[in-house]
Amino acid sequence: MMNKPHTPRAMLAVLTALLLPLCLGACEIPPTQPTASILDANPAEQPDSTDAAQQDADKPTADTPVGALIHRIDLPLDVSLDPSWLAVDESIVPLRTHGMWQANGLRIGILSAEQAPDFADTLPSILGESRAKLIGSPYPSPVRSTPRLIQSVAIDLTDPPKNPEVFRAHGGRLQLLVKITRDETGQAYLELTPHHYKRKADLVPRSPLEKQLDGQVFTPLTARLPLTPNTAVIVGLHRPWPEPKDSADPTPDEQDTPIEDASAQTSTVKTGQDPAPDSPETTPIAEGETATDEQPPDEEVTHNDQPQPPAIPNHLGRALMTGKRAGKATQVLIVISIIED
């Protein structure tokens, strides 16, 4: 059942501390100069041209080192994060990439420092968090991995209008690779690519960096986004929730639903019952993690104006962005911001 989101004050402090110090540290703002006017008897002295030259020298170049702060946040699975995602700019993601990520149950966008308070204010209480630093490298590094897969997971590689293409990952583990690079102008870019890691035999000597890319790297799903010190990339689970509606006033479609269809839709009225063993929405996908919607045992599911948690297909998003913490089903948010030396 959907609960009203509640954000601890610490959560707001976490995101504010994540973004604003980077902006203040990396984007040094020069002192404000008074504006000269033709009405002034003594126009303000204009800044020395050497100041502009110094600013140009301080701009990052293609060789400027760059790293990233990876912040993982665990949140309850049975709460919609759609209100929080309203503060995230998803339009910056190319339309093709955006659609392919959503088809695989993943969501991605850019969060600005200005929108961080609105984002944090609508998050539910966090169940856990962790941080890690990543040094910029031409080689991608995993920032999120699943345990060993115990059942296959479908990865949708369909690129419309081409024919449907689905890869089924068996064994190994799924992970999200991240690479941070700069272009020739010094602009930092973050590349995120899903990967099915499956170790292969070494026929020739290989480096550890080469070995960590064994398996299938899903290059068609690569998302490449620009990053500045006052922005962060947000990655989460794409899980469309139904709109709230008044059960006392059913829609015409509900009134006309045949009896057999209605019984199929309302066959589960209690939680705590054992799910069907082959149900893709409830079967664990990886050892140690169970990506299921959990409700208290024997709790009556009332059909009120609150939408029920939608089932999660057995897709890439469920594998990477759900799990368990302290016995509670969780969804994961990953916040990635850059660190410039």
Assigned domain for 226 exists? yes
Instruction: Considering only residues 204 and 238, tell me which one the structure prediction assigns the higher pLDDT.
Output: 238
Phi-psi bin for 11: left (phi > 0), alpha (psi -120 to 50), beta? alpha
Two structure tokens written together for 78:
């049975």
DSSP character at residue 275? P
Assigned domain for 264 exists? no
What pLDDT does 136 receive? Answer: 76
Assigned domain for 110 exists? yes
DSSP string for 127-144: -EEEEEEEE--SS-EEEE
Assigned domain for 39 exists? no
Assigned domain for 38 exists? no
Assigned domain for 246 exists? no
Assigned domain for 56 exists? no
Question: How does pLDDT run across 147-168, given as a tens digit for each residue?
Answer: 999 999 999 999 988 899 999 9
- What angle (nearest 5°) sits at the alpha carbon of residue 16, between those of residues 14 and 18? 70
Instruction: Considering only residues 308 and 58, tell me which one the structure prediction assigns the higher pLDDT.
Output: 308
What pLDDT does 267 receive? Answer: 38
Of the ranges 23-37, 86-100, 235-249, which is most confident?
Answer: 86-100
The alpha carbon of 122 is separated from its chain's Cα centroid by a whole number of angstroms, namely 16
CA distance 132 to 147: 19
Look at the chain and count its residues.
341
Assigned domain for 271 exists? no
The total of structural domains in the chain comes to 1
Domain housing 120 = 64-240+330-340
